[in-house]
Amino acid sequence: MAFVRKPYRPQTEEEIAEEIRRVKFPRGNQTFGILEQRVGGSRSKVRCLDGKKRICRIPGRLKRRLWVREGDLILVEPWEFGGDEKGDIIFKYKKNQVNFLKRKGHLDKLEEFEEF
């Protein structure tokens, strides 16, 4: 039996609005971060919006599902021990979610970092 591929269908405005409505916000000690460099072994150098640079890893449960590139906005959870230098990457924001966060004022500190 042959595999039949579904035709490409662009997202409707309702689907995009539904995706924006489900934006994850930082909880507790979590913070936003910008991925600066991929180091290897599922590790990356991340510049966090709390002013610290961390070496962050992608946990094993997300390793195959979460693909990141340099310049992506991500959600970082610092480790309990060594939290100023290390952390975990929890979530990657899509382009329309980043625009939503900028409009709502959650990424005001991001503009300060982009000046460098």
Where along the chain do its domains lie?
29-114
Q: What average pLDDT does the chain have?
A: 81
What top-level class would CATH report for the domain 29-114? mainly beta
Instruction: Give the pTM.
Output: 0.75
Q: Give pLDDT tens digits for 58-105.
A: 888 777 777 888 888 999 999 888 778 899 999 888 888 888 888 888
Q: Give pLDDT tens digits for 29-64.
A: 899 999 998 888 888 999 988 888 999 988 887 777
Q: pLDDT band at residue 15, thresholds of 50, 70 and 90?
A: low
**Quick one: tokens of 100?**
């939503």
* The pLDDT value given to residue 113: 63
Q: Are 34 and 45 in contact (CB under 8 A)?
A: no
103: enclosing H helix or E strand: helix 95-104
Q: pLDDT band at residue 20, thresholds of 50, 70 and 90?
A: low
**Quick one: tokens of 60?**
């094993």
* The pLDDT value given to residue 55: 92
Q: Are 31 and 78 in contact (CB under 8 A)?
A: yes
